[in-house]
């Protein structure tokens, strides 16, 4: 099956921060690809990737970038697919610069953003976007949220027993 989600990194140094998100997509059975394409160092490759993403079957793009973090905005300017930005804590500003670059898009070029280094949330959000039109994925998300709630309630029971 063709990938539905692409995690596009500006640098290979971002890869270790993606593991939790990629695992979520694996758990949901959502095919994905991971690419290294820089908005600044490989602009032609970035344009080619964005302009052909939809015809290759991709449905959600996740832009992973640190420092100036222009990758999400560049991708969003070149495609109608939803783009989720993951700001990376790769600079002296510990990701705040990346966060601001990701969320401060000009009118008409939206990029959704998750928290700094929050690949897990980006993957869940990508699954929710896909789940809006895919009942199988939607049910997997419901089950995920149910298990998540059960885990919290079990921790609550344990802490109440311990401190009551």
Res 90: pLDDT: 80
Res 67: pLDDT: 81
Q: Coil, strand, or helix at residue 35?
A: strand
CA distances from 89 to 73, 96, 123 (A): 18, 7, 18
Res 23: pLDDT: 97
Can you give the pLDDT of all 164 residues of the chain as single tens digits? 899 999 999 999 999 999 999 999 999 999 999 999 999 999 999 999 999 999 999 999 999 988 888 999 999 999 999 999 999 998 778 888 889 889 999 999 999 999 999 999 999 999 999 999 999 999 999 999 999 999 999 999 999 999 98
Q: Note whether 100 and 72 are within 8 A (CB).
A: no
Res 66: pLDDT: 82
Name the burial class of residue 112, with classes exposed (0-12), middle (13-18) and buried (19+) by CB atoms within 10 angstroms of its CB: buried
Res 4: pLDDT: 98
Measured CA to CA, the distance from residue 98 to residue 66 in angstroms comes to 5
How large is the greatest C-alpha to C-alpha distance in the chain, in angstroms?
Answer: 62
Measured CA to CA, the distance from residue 95 to residue 99 in angstroms comes to 6
Which of 104, 43, 108, 51 is CA-nearest to residue 71?
43
pTM of the model: 0.94
Tell me how crowded residue 49 is: count the other CB atoms within 10 A of its CB: 21
- Output Rg (C-alpha) for the chain, integer angstroms: 17
């Amino acid at each position: 099956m063709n990938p539905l989600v692409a995690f596009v990194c500006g640098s290979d140094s971002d890869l270790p921060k993606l593991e939790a998100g990629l695992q979520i997509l694996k758990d949901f059975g959502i095919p994905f690809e991971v690419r290294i394409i820089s908005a600044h160092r490989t602009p032609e490759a970035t344009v080619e990737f964005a302009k052909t993403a939809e015809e290759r079957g991709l449905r959600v793009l996740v832009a992973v970038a640190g420092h100036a973090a222009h990758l999400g905005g560049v991708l969003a300017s070149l495609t109608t697919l939803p783009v989720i930005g993951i700001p990376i804590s790769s600079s002296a500003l510990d990701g705040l610069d990346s966060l601001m670059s990701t969320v401060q898009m000009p009118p008409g070029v939206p990029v959704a953003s998750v928290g700094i280094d929050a690949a897990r949330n980006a993957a869940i959000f990508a699954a929710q976007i896909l789940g809006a039109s895919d009942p199988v994925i939607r049910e997997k998300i419901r089950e995920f949220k149910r298990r998540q709630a059960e885990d919290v309630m079990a921790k609550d029971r344990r802490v109440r027993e311990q401190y009551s």
